[in-house]
Amino acid sequence: IAKTTNATRKPRQLSVDYYARTCPQVDQLVGSVTSQQFKEAPVSAPATIRLFFHDCFVEGCDGSILISTKPGSKELAEKEAEDNKDLRVEGFQTVNKAKALVESKCPGVVSCADILAIAARDFIHLAGGPYYQVKKGRWDGRISMASRVGANIPRANFTLDQQLKLFNSKGLSLEDLVVLSGAHTIGFAHCKQFVSRLYNYKGTRQPDPAIDPRLLKALRMSCPPFGGNTDIVTPFDVTTPFVFDHAYYGNIEAKLGLLASDQALSLDPRTKPLVQQLGSNKLKFFQAFSQAMEKMGSIGVKRGRRHGEKRKDCSMHML
Ligand code: HEM
Ligand SMILES: [Ca+2]
Ligand SMILES: [Ca+2]
């Protein structure tokens, strides 16, 4: 019977109890690392959530983002790509710690891609967001190339159409786009991601009219037009930058969006009604976010030895 179910199972299907026999305690093991990490370095939460997003959008959710460039190799790994340079180390550290613990209890069983998916869920919950079951069974990928990143990661100055096109190409809908962008309720961005909105919006030499004047003033203080400190970061959510809540939507309705791509969601008639709904209904946001994360978490999933690997060290391919 077991054989028949295996053969008839859709190849890319994930399941909550995938490790029921081989590593039943995997969620607890990862959980002990994420809760410790959250206490020591709360930025691990936004760091890991973004890491998961950048993993799933390039080659699918397969841990390709975790690979380090081989010393002496000409081919740079994904994490070296320009769009991944600002991924914080805390996300990588979390995955590595969790992987080490999981390997010590269930050697050679759990993929790095699944550990990243579980850790991202944990941090959403630890920061005050929803808890949902993570479906597992992803294999790690054999390809990690910096050159494949640029076209697959959305940019801060993307129009809604550009964002939508990219999300659609990943099997995600307009609603998924609006809901997943709510992850910008925690975390921070560097000045370069929005500085043109502050001084010279679309070449007008004027600020973006869709920024609240008080926010504009505050952002201009942290981010001068030239010669500022490039390490400065600013919270996405001016009200609760460490709390996973639905404040993001109220903010963009109030012209407090940080990136042009965020603000666009409350300006476009296609997305504005959903922004209003999510901003006024935390439960709806939490339910929609959990579902959308499951959808994002199943992009391009690989199963089996022919397409994937189970790494021992998440930063190195198996040979
Ligand atoms: C819709 C298109 C999106 C765009 C254009 C976008 C762009 C960005 C940018 C430019 C940053 C700042 C990076 C920096 O300066 O360090 C950022 C941060 C972040 N993004 Fe997005 N993002 C998008 C969607 C998402 C999604 C779908 C998620 C997760 C579900 C996500 C989660 C995050 C988090 C948590 C941070 C904060 C990272 C930290 O503080 O370490 N983003 N995003
Ligand atoms: Ca990937
Ligand atoms: Ca918040």
- Residue 9 pLDDT more than 90? no
The residue range of the domain holding 260 is: 160-295
Q: Give the chain's mean pLDDT.
A: 95
Q: Could you report the predicted ipTM of this complex, rounded to two decimals?
A: 0.99
Confidence of residue 12 (pLDDT cuts 50, 70, 90): low
Residues 262 and 166 in one domain: yes
CA dihedral (255, 259, 260, 266) in degrees, to 10, reads: -40
Q: Per the structure block, which two tokens stand in for 95?
A: 């995955």
Distance CA 244, CA 187 (A): 10
Distance CA 149, CA 318 (A): 22
Determine contact, residues 185/235, Cβ cutoff 8 Å: no
Q: What is the pLDDT of residues 35-62, one digit of tens each?
A: 999 999 999 999 999 999 999 999 999 9
Residues 165 and 268 in one domain: yes
Q: Per the structure block, which two tokens stand in for 21?
A: 């026999």
The count of domains in the chain is: 2
Residues 215 and 137 in one domain: no
Determine contact, residues 44/91, Cβ cutoff 8 Å: yes
Residues 175 and 49 in one domain: no
- Residue 10 pLDDT more than 70? no
In a domain, 319, yes or no: no
Residues 196 and 123 in one domain: no
Ligand 1 mean position to 185 CA, how many Å?
10
- Predicted TM-score (pTM) of the model is 0.96
Ligand 1 mean position to 214 CA, how many Å?
23
Residues 206 and 141 in one domain: no
Backbone torsions φ then ψ of 265, nearest 5 degrees: -65, -30
| Confidence at residue 277, expressed as pLDDT on a 0 to 100 scale | 98
CATH code of residue 70: 1.10.520.10
Binding-site residues:
55, 58, 60, 62, 64, 78, 154, 184-185, 237, 240, 245
CATH code of residue 267: 1.10.420.10
In a domain, 314, yes or no: no
Residues 6 and 136 in one domain: yes
